[in-house]
């Protein structure tokens, strides 16, 4: 049985706790590897290694750090097929979807290559009599990331690429459900020229998470996961003096206006709702048709599309989606479908009993489609994180807008319409962090910032884009005056620029 340890000081090291977690093959239900679960002591060792390595890394000029990122991109492109196969085998997403996971992470690494420009400060010549002022952006020191199972390549790269480019060292605690890709990314960074100890991967569970949140030498923490844990990470980390960005759950709505191209809307819903088995924080899980005629037309087209979804093993490049990540999670999603029926929603397509010949023990589930879902139902209020789409019928545009505005989550939202006035009004008034107009999954590109509002995000700064540079640096402002401009007597009033 393969054992996965940790990556500390530039090499793979075995765990010393004696505790391991199971890494499943979601296609077969079999355990394919054991991952070591670190102790707080092992975490502290990694932090001390990172702390020592950070000093030399921060002293390297930004161009040198950028060249490491450039080489890393080259290696990612070289190994992307192997990385995608590795990712797919542990997560269960299809190979094409795994390629997308890697590509969207790679794009943030490409953004980080611009770090010499991104770190430039401000300069004011003659801010006062013989006085110049300028600002510097300097690294924080040792920073950490706690990343989820659903994007084992993308989200670690979203976190560590800008952090490393800014001159920090990094502790990555990936999901113990699919740890092989994060470990391989660390190896590739060493091959790209990153000094040993600058990036360390420590696998583990709650003990390691708590150790990260309270460790005095960790200056900042990035997290992605469920909202209850995001809130816990944010409150605990900030209580210990750390800078924290913590992103949680979502309930993403897609409003379909009466003038929308219905075929386009249905294609968008099927892909955004059921891709990756719905295990995406930006998945559309609520369709909101405006008016009865729109709703009836949508349902008529959706039912056969959901019924004909092609579900297969993650190695099947033609499958629409593969298995869910674990049996426990698959059963939790099925329980939500049961709850929806009990609450009175109309289950139009039932994928709970889906089974695949030859993969009977895999964590598969077919697509489910609910109609007549209402605001008070748990399947509307709570994140399901599976292949379940709920249709909530809106009486009119104002009713439709109120649904995402009133929901506790505010991650992503979309509107499908041909009306520019409606789209502009919607994008202005909606109380959600990321908005799509005829785009179902509005994930911003790497040079813009990604982040949800309300209980989808905790903290003031978002992921990637300019916010990532602000998050992983601190600003120092220098006021300088040279001897020729210095008065020969003491000043006892507050300095001014007059």
Q: In angstroms, rounded to a whole number, what is the distance separating the alpha carbons of residues 170 and 313? A: 34
Token reading at 226: 């469920």
Rounded Cα distance between 310 and 73, Å, is: 33
Distance CA 187, CA 275 (A): 30
Token pair 């816990």 is at which residue? 232
- Alpha carbon distance 243, 239 (integer Å): 10
User: Distance (Å, rounded) from C-alpha 359 to C-alpha 323?
Assistant: 10
- Residue 479, strand partner residues: 133
The tokens of 381 are what?
Answer: 């209020």
- Asked if residues 383 and 285 have their Cβ atoms less than 8 Å apart, the reply is yes
Phi/psi class of residue 323: alpha, beta or left (left: φ > 0; alpha: ψ in -120 to 50)?
beta
- The active-site residue, picked from 144, 211, 281, 283, is 281
Only one residue has tokens 């939202």, namely: 413
Handedness of CA 297, 299, 303, 306 (dihedral sign): positive
User: Which H, E and C letters describe the chain, residue by residue?
Assistant: CEEECEEECCEEECCCCCCEEEEEECCCCEEEEEEECCCHHHHHHHHHHHHHHHHHHHHCCHHHHHHHHHHHHHHHHHHHHHHHHHHHHHHCCCHHHHHHHHHHHHHHHHHHCCHHHHCCCCEEEEEECCEEEEEEEEECCEEEEECCCCCCCHHHHHHHHHHHHCCCEEEEECCCCCCHHHHHHHHHHHHCCCCCCCEEECCCCHHHHHHHHHCCCEEEEEEECCHHHHHHHHHHHHHCCCEEEEECCCCEEEEECCCCCHHHHHHHHHHHHHHHHHCCCCCEEEEEEECHHHHHHHHHHHHHHHHCCCECCCCCCCCCECCCCCHHHHHHHHHHHHHHHHHCCEEEECCCCCCCCCCCCCCCCCCEEEECCCCCCHHHHCCCCCCEEEECCECCHHHHHHHHHHCCEECEEEEECCCHHHHHHHHHHCCCCEEEECCCCCCCCCCCCECCEECCEECCCCECCHHHHHHCEEEEEEEEECHHHCCCCCCCCCCCCC
Known active-site residue 166 = no
Pull the structure tokens for residue 116. Answer: 């010499």
Contact 227, 262 (CB under 8 A): no
By annotation, the residues acting in catalysis are 281
């Amino acid at each position: 049985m393969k054992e996965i340890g940790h990556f500390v000081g530039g090499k793979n090291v075995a765990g010393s706790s004696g505790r391991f977690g199971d890494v499943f093959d979601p296609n077969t239900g079999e355990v394919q590897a054991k991952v070591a679960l670190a102790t707080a002591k092992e975490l502290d060792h990694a932090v001390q290694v990172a702390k020592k390595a950070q000093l030399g890394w921060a002293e390297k000029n930004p161009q040198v750090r950028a060249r490491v990122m450039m080489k890393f991109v080259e290696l990612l492109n070289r190994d992307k097929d192997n990385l995608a196969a590795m990712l797919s085998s542990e997560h269960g997403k299809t190979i094409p979807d795994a390629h997308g996971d890697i590509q969207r992470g790679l794009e943030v690494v490409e953004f980080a290559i611009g770090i010499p420009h991104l770190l430039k400060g401000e300069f004011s010549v003659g801010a006062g009599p013989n006085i110049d002022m300028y600002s510097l952006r300097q690294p924080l020191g040792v920073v950490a990331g706690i990343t989820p199972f659903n994007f084992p390549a993308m989200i670690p790269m979203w976190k560590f690429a800008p952090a490393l480019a800014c001159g920090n060292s990094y502790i990555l605690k990936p999901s113990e459900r699919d740890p092989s890709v994060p470990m391989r990314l660390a190896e590739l960074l060493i091959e790209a020229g990153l000094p040993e100890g600058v990036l360390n991967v420590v696998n583990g569970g709650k003990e390691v998470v708590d150790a990260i949140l309270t460790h005095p030498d960790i200056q900042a923490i990035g997290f992605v996961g469920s909202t209850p844990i995001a809130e816990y990470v944010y409150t605990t980390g900030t209580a210990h003096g750390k800078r924290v960005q913590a992103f949680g759950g979502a309930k993403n709505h897609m409003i379909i206006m009466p003038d929308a191209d219905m075929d386009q809307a249905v294609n968008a819903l099927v892909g955004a709702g059921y891709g990756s088995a719905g295990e995406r924080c930006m998945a559309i899980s609520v369709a909101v048709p405006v008016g009865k005629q729109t709703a009836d037309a949508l349902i008529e087209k959706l039912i056969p599309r959901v019924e004909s979804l092609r579900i297969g093993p993650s190695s099947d490049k033609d499958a629409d989606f593969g298995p869910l990540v674990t049996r426990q999670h698959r059963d939790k999603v099925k329980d939500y479908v049961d709850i929806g029926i009990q609450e009175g929603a109309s289950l139009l397509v039932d994928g709970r009993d889906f089974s695949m010949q030859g993969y009977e023990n895999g964590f598969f589930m077919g697509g489910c489609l609910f109609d007549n879902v209402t605001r008070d139902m748990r399947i509307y209020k709570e994140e399901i994180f599976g292949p379940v789409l709920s249709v909530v019928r809106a009486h009119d545009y104002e009713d439709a807008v109120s649904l995402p505005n009133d929901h506790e989550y505010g991650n992503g939202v979309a509107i499908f319409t041909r009306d520019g006035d409606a789209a502009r009004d919607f994008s202005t008034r909606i109380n959600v962090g990321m908005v799509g107009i005829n785009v179902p999954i509005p994930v911003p590109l790497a040079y813009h910032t990604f982040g949800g509002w309300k209980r989808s995000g905790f903290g003031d700064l978002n992921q990637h884009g300019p916010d990532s540079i602000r998050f992983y640096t601190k600003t120092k402002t220098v006021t300088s005056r040279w001897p020729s401009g210095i008065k020969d007597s003491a000043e006892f009033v507050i300095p001014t620029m007059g």
